[in-house]
Structure 1
Amino acid sequence: MSWQQDNSLLSICSRTLRHTSAHGVPNIINSQDRWRSCCWTAFVLLVLGCMLWQCSQLTATYLHYPTQEKVTLVNSARLPFPAITFCNLNRARMSQLNLSKYHFLQNYLSVPSHDEHEAGMHSHENERNFAFALSQLSTQDQMELGHQLKDMLISCAFHDEVCNESYFTPFFNPKLGNCYTFNGPKLLSSSIHQTEVLNATKAGFSYGLTMELFIEQNEYISTLSTAAGLRVVLHGQGKMPFPEDEGVNVPPGQESDIGVVKVHVKRLHEPYNSRCSSGQDIRNYYTDVYGTDYSREACKKSCAQTKMIKNCGCRMWEFPAPPGIDVPLCNISEPSVNDCVEMYEYKLSHDQLKCHCPLQCEEEIFELTLSSSQWPSSKYMEV
């Protein structure tokens, strides 16, 4: 009975292979000689191998989770107006350094050399030494040294409506000193009772922000301030601005118009190969101190601070201090400490720090177009 069943099974398989639509297989069985049978066998195995290889490639591609960029142009009648941060290129006011309270800071300002190369080296050294001296002061004292908004802001208008100092949020930048943000996350205006983000309804400078600013160039420190003007950065409300790394310079004596195109980037989470992050489980001192959203640049600077604390035994004044950890400021007057700090500053600037800082999953990029003209005109000066 078993033999009959096996014989029946063999017969079924034989008939199936002889009449299958996979044409190469019947030719193997029906070939009149061994040579033809071997040729058809080799051909079928080759095709089968190609099929398996293609299936493996398709499977590997699927498991790689490929993505395709999708670009959508949006022309909306109502868009959130970006936050605008500006800082004076001069860190501290000379009149304040002349006060007895801050007179010791003048010891860190040396006379520049007439040789261009040597002057450049002196300028960089002066900036580091002066920044180190300022870091010994409290944040409040450092902000007192810098330019004040009430002295710089002459006029302000947004969408043809008058704005004032209450529209700006001050914050301290370790490299540029006092900075001021318009339409930032803490916007509060008593005149219009506005606590939400302002919106732009039309394109054109008449419907944006217009400011007339006085940079107080007479207060500039000659041995430190090589350029005069403002540093302007456009960013999202939740993003930490880094004017030392991004933005544009606006010179004095000119009317500068900045055209903006906003690019909103959305990246897919894992398992897609963008490997983006929203900041979960990533230590970010800027989020801890300022409450801003995660960004790759903030992550890298936080990572540099962590490595300095671990390997140099001190923290750098350029980056926020880790909350809850009492670590002294780096004293760059000590050669060993200065060498350690300079090494990590070099690695940070050349992207050589081994930090886990993926791209943010959502990012707003503002592409700027800057144009300028002489201001004021000769006729306006005669009035």
Structure 2
Amino acid sequence: MEKKANNKRERIKSKIREALVSSTSHGIPNIFSSDNLIQKFVWIVFTLIATSLCGYLILENIINYKKYEVSSKTQIVFEEEPIFPSVTFCNGNFITKYSKEIFEKLYPYFQNTYDDELNRFQIIKEIYAFSNYNLSYLKELGDSKSDLIGPTTEKSLIPLPIQEYNLEEHFTQYFDNYYGNCFTFNSFKYDNGSKREPLRANLNNHGFVFTLILDLNEKLSEYFSKSAIVFIHEFGSWPKSAEPISILPGQLTNIAIKKTLSKRLAKPYSNCDHDTDNPLKYKSEYFKAVHNISKKYKQSLCIRLCFENLVLRNCPCYLSLIPNFDIRNCLNNTEEDCPQKVNNMLTQNNYLNSECVQKCPLECEFITYSTKVSTKKFLYKDNMPVSRVQIYFENLYSTEFVETELIDIPTLLSNIGGIAGLFLGVSVLSFVEIVSLIIELLRISLAKNSKVKEKMNESI
């Protein structure tokens, strides 16, 4: 029995030595095959040095991979038919010449309180209080589509082709708590709520020309300036995700736009989150609320909703950024103090970052539009307070910022393979040799006796 055990051990040693001598790596075979003691010592020393360097560099590559660093690529891309952005138009004044009843009610207030710094928020609060927060009534105070937006025109004063628009088909009403009735051109939905496909520009049509009628009741013209506000924002996004552009009557305003697309890598490569345009992706109530308002998700809007909710937990009123008629506006200085105090508390304690940012994922992909605005005088018939706005793509080239992994899995494996091959001369097949040796040793260890083993070898 002891003889059989010794025989098995000898066979195992023999197989190990045979595998080491025939290994595709360079160091170990030469250690075993060197007959000269000095040569053997040299091979041992340099094999240890090479193994140490190999291990260090492989570890460094793994650490660099775990840093999740990115490289950014900027490229200019030609788009044959780019999606035209959504454009929201608002009269700069909440109430217009068509709001006769509220003028008669509030005109004495304007006369008594007017000074050089008449508070717009105070006026809006009076309007809301007067209307008893009735949305239908508030909408009647502002412009209708045809009151603010004039008929389409083919006449363009720029050397680029311009498209026509249909007032009823291409404009959707949007109520803003600050400006009142606004109208979004190229919205993601119709007034009845059904989805619509975006308008596109092309080589034959670069943009649109809009005529804005900026009329105001004569009595209030001394207190308010006639103006319009324009938001140029990504198709399907919330209008106030873009910066406002002010439009004055009697002017032709040219707005040349350029599109920029940014694509960031999701966590862990950055702090943005994957697939935020999917309303079912995250369970946050604020995330879902944003998707109820717009097609495109924006973290800024989500955080704003979260902030307003935190304020309303502690205060009875607030001038919400989002139309919400379950919330009433603050009507006196005492009530106004509460939101301000809560705001200061949230800011000082960094509560917004810990509470809201955690519930509002950051989008990885978004589109922005840079604008070049130029104006000149524009005369309309009968000296009507009319503006003409030309919004168009400067050209059909867009800028793309795209992030890619600095070290991805294939690159990491290639680096490890290159380092191992350089210092030890090993490859994937060298690891196959190790697996093959383990299988062979297990086969020897599990063999019942040497005779069976020999028969198996003969049969093989």
TM-score by length of 1: 0.71
CA distance in 2, matches of 1:10, 1:299: 68
Moved more, 64-73 or 140-149: 64-73
Does 2:280 correspond to 1:281?
no
Deviations 1:258-311 (A, max 9, x none): 22233344556667644232343232375465354322222111111122123x
| Residue identity matched to 2:138 | Q
Other-structure match for 1:309: 312
> Are the aligned partners of 1:262 and 1:365 in contact in 2 as well (CA < 8 Å)?
yes
Match of 2:260 among 240, 263, 272: 263
SS of equivalent to 2:178: coil
Match of 2:172 among 157, 160, 169: 169
Does 2:65 correspond to 1:80?
no
CA distance in 2, matches of 1:345, 1:46: 58
The Cα shift of 1:337 comes to 0.7
> Are the aligned partners of 2:238 and 2:296 in contact in 1 as well (CA < 8 Å)?
yes
CA distance in 2, matches of 1:259, 1:209: 11
Match of 1:156 among 152, 157, 170: 152
> Are the aligned partners of 2:290 and 2:302 in contact in 1 as well (CA < 8 Å)?
no
Change beyond 3 A, Cα 1:254–1:291: closer
SS of equivalent to 1:99: helix
Q: Note the 1:116-195 alignment, pairs <5 A.
A: 122=117, 126-136=119-129, 137-138=132-133, 139-157=135-153, 159=162, 161=164, 163-164=166-167, 167-187=170-190
Deviations 1:206-261 (A, max 9, x none): x52112223236666666x5x75322122344211117x52422333321122223
Change beyond 3 A, Cα 1:268–1:23: closer
SS of equivalent to 1:200: coil
Does 2:235 correspond to 1:242?
no
TM-score by length of 2: 0.61
Match of 2:227 among 198, 223, 229: 229
Q: Percent identity, aligned pairs only? A: 21
Q: Note the 1:1-383 alignment, pairs <5 A.
A: 1=3, 2-14=5-17, 16-17=19-20, 20-25=23-28, 30=34, 37=41, 41=44, 43-59=46-62, 71=75, 73-76=77-80, 78-93=81-96, 96=100, 99-102=103-106, 106=110, 109-112=113-116, 122=117, 126-136=119-129, 137-138=132-133, 139-157=135-153, 159=162, 161=164, 163-164=166-167, 167-187=170-190, 196-202=197-203, 208-216=207-215, 229-242=227-240, 246-266=243-263, 273=270, 274-276=272-274, 277-278=276-277, 279=279, 280-284=282-286, 287=290, 290=293, 292-310=295-313, 312-314=314-316, 316-320=318-322, 329-330=329-330, 333-334=333-334, 336-343=337-344, 354=355, 355-356=357-358, 357-376=360-379
CA distance in 1, matches of 2:338, 2:312: 11
**Which ranges of structure 1 fall in alignment gaps of 5 or more residues?**
113-121
**Which ranges of structure 2 fall in alignment gaps of 5 or more residues?**
155-161, 385-460
The Cα shift of 1:339 comes to 2.8
Change beyond 3 A, Cα 1:345–1:21: closer
CA distance in 1, matches of 2:273, 2:364: 9
Change beyond 3 A, Cα 1:42–1:375: farther
Q: Which has the larger radius of gyration?
A: 2
CA distance in 1, matches of 2:106, 2:229: 25
| Residue identity matched to 2:333 | S
Change beyond 3 A, Cα 1:306–1:46: farther
CA distance in 2, matches of 1:108, 1:131: 16
Q: Which structure would you say has the larger RCO, counting Cα contacts within 8 Å and 6 or more residues apart?
A: 2
| Residue identity matched to 1:214 | I
SS of equivalent to 1:157: coil
Query: Which is richer in helix?
Result: 2
The Cα shift of 1:180 comes to 1.2
Q: What is the number of residues matched between the two proteins?
A: 355
CA distance in 1, matches of 2:345, 2:213: 37
